[in-house]
Structure 1
Amino acid sequence: MSTTNTTAAKAPIFDADDVQGQVQDLYVASEVWLHTHWLQILIAFATGAVIVVALHGLRKLGERLCGKHIAGGTPLRRGWGMIVGRAVTRTSNFFIVMLAAKLVVGYAGAPSQVATTVNFLWTVASVFQAAIWARELILGAIEHRTSSEHYSGEALLSAMGLIRLLVTVALFAVALVVVLDNLGVNVTGLIAGLGVGGIAIGLAAQGIFGDLFAALAIIFDRPFRRGDKISYGTTSGVIESIGLKSTRIRAFTGELRVISNKQLLDKEIQNTSVRDHIRIQFTIGAAYETPPDTLARIPAMLREIAEGEGGKVARSSFESFGASSLDFVLQFDIPGDDWATAHPMRDRVMVSIMTRFAAEGIVIPYPTQTTYTAAPDGTLVMPYAVADRPAS
């Protein structure tokens, strides 16, 4: 019994003859096409030229739109018009030419080899051009927020370099995967590799990325901005700067507090700069010996005093029976958020209440305690003088 070993010949990865044959077929098909469709080709080229000129004009319009936002060589506050204009100016000549070719290749009756080549080049041009436009719009939106909301320039300008790098890498990685997929390449392994690499980088720098995304959340959600007065936890102060990693807050007691952006957003933040009024509350007691008709007039007295000083009264009424007094509550609002104005008004209202109560004979009692002692014989010693009873 004989055994025959057959070795299968492996096809070469790169066959020069095959490539040469494809180029020859493309040349022949193009020559035939030029001879048979020369009129359609001339019309298509003329149409393509018009499209190219129109798109170049649109790009010039974008440059002019950007120029309107520049005065004396210095960019003004970035608006959406400038952002769109800057994105339009990033339109590449390759994309313009391929767009024109894509629009006219069908009309000219191009052979399949030419149409396939145009479709491939159009896919490459459109995908990467879309990535460029998306990058400019995203970065422009971030810059628009940082400039219009008066965020810290130095810190966020240094952060823009990292943000630009991250956005560029992410968008062009997606564009590369889309192009390879259109070429018929199996991108499953590439996507898996990019995913594993992204997870590894994210775990290694999760603190930095957490603070970076928190900074972006502050920019877009705008819970506060530079110069705002905020309170969080047991701390109150004024925002001095918002950076890539942390936010700096000047406490009302004078010290500078630095807190990471993520840790700050995890807390409940009270922004006192955006309130339109400051509410003041007084609890005033009147002695139990005060006549009922006078007690009935006290709420109106308190309202009159507060409104006379410019406050807007929210409540002026009887509150409760206290241990030593009948308690009344006065709540009034002072417009604005400036305590430098609110405190003097508060003091004037308090003094006016004391003056009015004195004029009306209303006593504001304070808690008192009476102590009784006993004599050696057990009789009670009164803490006050006792008048002698007249003899009967």
Structure 2
Amino acid sequence: MSVPTKTASNAHAAAEDPSIAKSLSDAEIFYDQTAGWIATHYMSIVIACSIGAVIIAVLYGLRMLGTRLCRREHVGHWPKIIGRAIARTNLFFIVTLAARLVSGYANPPAVVSTTIGFLFTVAAALQAAIWVRELIIGTVEYRAGDDDSGSSTLGSAIGIIRLLVTSICFIVAILLILDNIGVNITGLVASLGIGGIAIGLAAQGIFSDLFASLAIIFDRPFRRGDTVRWDQTVGTVESIGLKTTRVRATTGEEVVISNTNLLNKELRNLAHTMRRRATLMLGVTYQTSPETCRRLPDMVKAIVTAHDKAVFLHCCMINFGASSLDYELLFDVIDEDVEVFNATRHSICIEILERFAREGIDFAYPTQTTFTAAPDGRMIMPYAEIPAELLHKG
């Protein structure tokens, strides 16, 4: 009993299906040309393979260097991001790149050169997508902070950003591959564009808040734990989500506001105030002597400058009030912590009270003086009259 050979089986299949016949013919041509090329250019092929091996070793070494950059702690963020991208270099891309670089030296047949070019195009497109994805996501994660959990920053937003960036990068890579192998992608690109516009219009509000989340990541107007103020609301940021930000108001309730509306307002971040200014109004009685009034700013200045974190600006009389001589005191407290500011201002106020008590300076309070007349029409003054000799002496 005879066993049918592989050639006979191939010939039988080719006779039944013309497409199989064409594939078998292409394969035979590829085999014949490759065998003939190896037989006639074996020395050039060996040299090209040696050079290719050196190129692969160098590129693999660069990939290992990128991995080490990712693990180092005392380097900047950009070396880490670039190292992370380099570490994701695919071995398939390294091999096809080396083959592409040395293929011209070995003078391969057209079918072999075309195959190497096609594989390199596929590997380069996919590798470029991976590099771009790693660079973008690495930059976003750095701007978001080291801890990107949902409770601290925009963890949910970053997850969606990863998905969107990955999808866009690989869709573009696939389109480039199809275009390079001769596929007409005009209709496909148009369909993707129309679909993207429809999705964008349907989810306009969601995307608006998503981009507002990106603005918070990159611009950092505030972070979790910061005290912010907008409109009539003052509170501490508790969480920053994909669509909304939750703030615990000083009155106790939780305020939920969309990221878009929050960034459209005039927002004041009170957590990073390096210099806080205090303005105090001091009102003394009209019975205070001019000499004491003249010395009062120097007294207050000495009290303010005695504090390390306080910077004296000015203290001067600014008004003759209805029942007081009004002074304005201005000083800055150099510290971010609002409690330090409050403690410094409190201490200065207490020391002013103590100094004024020692000097006999009375603080004024709203008063009203009533003038009455005696039955004979003589004015009765509400205070003791000054002796005439003192008036002449003055």
Question: Is the pair's TM-score, using the shorter chain for normalization, greater than 0.5?
Answer: yes
TM class, shorter-chain normalised? 0.7 to 0.9
Displacement of 1:98 in angstroms is 0.8
Map 1:104-119; keep pairs closer than 5 Å.
Answer: 104-119=102-117
Deviations 1:111-169 (A, max 9, x none): 33332332222112101111012112222333333343676457744444322221111
CA distance in 2, matches of 1:386, 1:59: 96
Map 1:175-324; keep pairs closer than 5 Å.
Answer: 175-310=173-308, 311-324=310-323
Matched, 1:325 2:324: yes
Deviations 1:258-298 (A, max 9, x none): 22222222222211111123221111223445443332222
Higher deviation after alignment, 215-224 or 83-92: 83-92
Higher deviation after alignment, 158-167 or 277-286: 158-167
Deviations 1:11-56 (A, max 9, x none): xxx9777666655554454344334322211111111122223333
Q: Aligned residue for 1:42?
A: 46
Higher deviation after alignment, 57-66 or 182-191: 57-66
Q: What SS does structure 2 have at the residue aligned with 1:223?
A: coil
CA distance in 2, matches of 1:101, 1:326: 91
The one-letter amino acid paired with 1:204 is: A
Map 1:1-392; keep pairs closer than 5 Å.
Answer: 25-66=29-70, 80=78, 82-148=80-146, 152-153=150-151, 156-310=154-308, 311-370=310-369
CA distance in 2, matches of 1:150, 1:63: 22
Give the gaps of 5 or more residues in structure 2: 1-17, 386-394
Change (3 A) 1:205 1:383: farther
Q: What SS does structure 2 have at the residue aligned with 1:54?
A: helix
CA distance in 1, matches of 2:345, 2:57: 71
CA distance in 2, matches of 1:291, 1:383: 20
> Is the contact between residue 56 and residue 98 of structure 2 (CA under 8 Å) also seen in structure 1?
yes
CA distance in 2, matches of 1:326, 1:67: 67
CA distance in 2, matches of 1:386, 1:279: 43
Deviations 1:53-86 (A, max 9, x none): 33334434444555667xxxxxx99955554444
> Is the contact between residue 96 and residue 119 of structure 2 (CA under 8 Å) also seen in structure 1?
yes
Structural RMSD (CA): 3.5
CA distance in 2, matches of 1:89, 1:20: 40
CA distance in 1, matches of 2:75, 2:198: 38
The one-letter amino acid paired with 1:340 is: E
> Is the contact between residue 150 and residue 225 of structure 1 (CA under 8 Å) also seen in structure 2?
no
Q: What SS does structure 1 have at the residue aligned with 2:104?
A: coil
> Is the contact between residue 370 and residue 382 of structure 2 (CA under 8 Å) also seen in structure 1?
no
CA distance in 1, matches of 2:95, 2:239: 46
Deviations 1:327-363 (A, max 9, x none): 2211112232333333343233223333433444444
CA distance in 1, matches of 2:116, 2:226: 56
The one-letter amino acid paired with 1:43 is: I
CA distance in 1, matches of 2:125, 2:383: 103
Please, what TM-score do these two structures have when normalized by structure 1? 0.79
Higher deviation after alignment, 279-288 or 146-155: 146-155
CA distance in 1, matches of 2:384, 2:237: 67
The one-letter amino acid paired with 1:248 is: R
CA distance in 2, matches of 1:111, 1:239: 67
Change (3 A) 1:204 1:18: same
Change (3 A) 1:298 1:41: same
The one-letter amino acid paired with 1:51 is: I
CA distance in 1, matches of 2:204, 2:118: 39
Give the gaps of 5 or more residues in structure 1: 1-13, 70-75, 388-392
CA distance in 2, matches of 1:135, 1:357: 68
Change (3 A) 1:386 1:292: closer
CA distance in 2, matches of 1:53, 1:348: 70
